[in-house]
Structure formats: structure tokens, C-alpha cells
Structure 1
Amino acid sequence: MNNLTFIPFQPKYAKTFKNLNLEWIKKFFVVENKDIELLDNCEENIINKGGYIFFAKIDTTIVGCVAYIKIEDNVYELGKMAISEAYQGKKIGQELLTFAINFAKEKQWKQVILYSSVKLTNALHIYKKVGFKEVPLEPNVVYKRSSIKMELNLK
């Protein structure tokens, strides 16, 4: 996509972040309390706690998003990645993921982890393609829909 750019979080896009995520969560799963907590107050619960949110933009339209939630120093969870249904199948997710991984490398993070579901075969394929490896899922995982944990070691 030649007009595709990536921009950092701006408060005016908080509602777009929420809507993009609710779109895919409702399509495949059930919206959980943790989703509402993060999506209703993304600036407070992600940005202000040392995390990051980025948006994929084509011209003036926000078409996707991704978040990094801080776990500990130099370890972040990649989450809340969504591409608007109208823009799926155009490799925007792959480009957004590549952008996010490069950001983590520039920040010299040690590791990026993510939780996903075995139902999301396209997403899992993309994660594996960029180097994420499956690791054991801890028993008390935050989201009921999480059936797989992956990590990418950057150092």
C-alpha cells in the first residue's frame, strides 16, 4: 500500500482504537472485562503505564492499530492488533506488525510476547513468519480466548 503510514497514539483516535478492536473481538469471541478496561481508557491503562499504541493510516483514514503493553523493563506484550474489515487481505497487518517489531528493536527491548487464539490462523501465520515462537501458556491467563502464547526474543 503506497499511502500507508504509521502514526503514534493521539487522544483523538482513542475511540477508533476501541472500535477497531471491538469489531474483531465481537466477530470471533466475547468482549471481556479486561478488553473494556483497556479500550475504554487506553491512554490511562496503556500509554500512561509505559506502553505504546500505533495506528496504520491510509491517506486520512485509520485502518488498523496495535498496542504494546509494558510487562516489565524491556519486555512488552503486543496486543490489541486490529485491521478494519474493509482493509483486510491487503497485507496491512503484516506491515503493521513489521513496523511494531522494528520499533521494539530500535528501543532495544529484550522480548515481545503475545497471546492469541488457535482460531486466528491468519494471525498466527503472520506471527510465526516474523519469528514468534510458541511457548507454554500459563494457567491463569487474562483472557478466556487466549489459547496460545508466543514470544519473540530480540537479544
Structure 2
Amino acid sequence: MDLSIIPFDSQYAKRFKELNVAWLEKYFYVEPKDTYILENCEANIINKGGYIYFAQYNDEIVGCFAFLKVRDREYELGKMAVDPKYQGLKIGQSLLRFAIDLGKQNEWKRIILYSSTKLENALYIYRKYGFKEIEIEKNLPYARSDIKMELLIN
């Protein structure tokens, strides 16, 4: 498999939005916070200390994820998506492994994520890679979120 994971480049901002809107519309709907982040991902993620990475398979951008800075050495993993035509190739797991390795290399304390219990496959993979369910706060930015998980790194 000719898969590489590459950092954000503004030429891929539109693809980042397309990949995320596709899975959101498949399982849920695009919420106001999604729109805010996806309309200008560079300003709302990168310029606020976050990261965006892409899965490139045979020269095509087929997946992505973002790290949104929560506080020093703590990031929220979000906006992870894989093009439906490329699901089943373990691209999502490659992205997740890369994300965890990035956190370790940068000596982060923890990675958190919000998800939905409707996404059983995603939750299975998060648990497989060491994420544990923790208490979820009230007044979340996304209506779809009903589970919060963390991975302690250091």
C-alpha cells in the first residue's frame, strides 16, 4: 500500500472539508461548530496551535485528522475521516497510530477525543489503541457527542 501521511498544506483545505462533511452527513449532520472550523481550517486549527494531517494514497488525499489545542501539551483529536471508497484499508488506523506517535514525540500529557456511541467501529479502534472512556462534561459544542475518551501519554 502506497500510503503516506503528510502535514497540512492550504491546497488541501477544501479536501479536508469535503472528507469531514461526507462522514458527518452520512451519520449525523453538519453542526454550526463544524461549519466554523471547516470553513477556515487554517485559521481555526493551525493558527491556534493545532495540526492537520492527511493520508495520501497513490497521490490522492483519502483521509485526514486534526489536533485542536486544548492547553499546553494537551490536544483534542478530531475531524478524522477516510473517504468511503478507501475504507477497509486500515487508513484510519494508520492515521491514529501517526497521531499517537506525534503526541509521544512532542511529549504531550494527553490526547482527548469526543465521539458518539453510534460509531461502534471507531470506538473499537480507539480502545484498541489505548483510549479510555472518561466523564464527559455538560454543554458540549457538538450535539452528536455522547462519549469522551483520553489517552494519557506521559
Q: Give the TM-score taking structure 1 as reference length.
A: 0.98
Kindly report which structure 2 residues correspond to 1:2-151, keeping only aligned pairs within 5 A, or say none: 2-151=1-150
In the aligned structure 2, how far is the partner of 1:74 from the partner of 1:94?
Answer: 23
Shift, 1:140, TM fit: 1.0
Q: Which consecutive unaligned segments of at least 5 residues does structure 2 have?
A: none
Shift, 1:68, TM fit: 0.1
Deviations 1:130-150 (A, max 9, x none): 000000110111100001000
In the aligned structure 1, how far is the partner of 2:149 from the partner of 2:57?
Answer: 29
Q: Give the TM-score taking structure 2 as reference length.
A: 0.99
Deviations 1:6-29 (A, max 9, x none): 000000000000000000000000
In the aligned structure 1, how far is the partner of 2:89 from the partner of 2:57?
Answer: 12
Sequence identity (%): 58
In the aligned structure 2, how far is the partner of 1:63 from the partner of 1:101?
Answer: 19
Q: Secondary structure at the match of 1:26?
A: helix
In the aligned structure 2, how far is the partner of 1:60 from the partner of 1:118?
Answer: 33
Q: Which consecutive unaligned segments of at least 5 residues does structure 1 have?
A: none
Deviations 1:41-99 (A, max 9, x none): 10000000000000000121001000000000000000000000000111110111001
Q: Secondary structure at the match of 1:39?
A: helix
Report the number of matched residues: 154
Q: Where do 4+ consecutive residues of structure 1 move more than 4 Å?
A: none
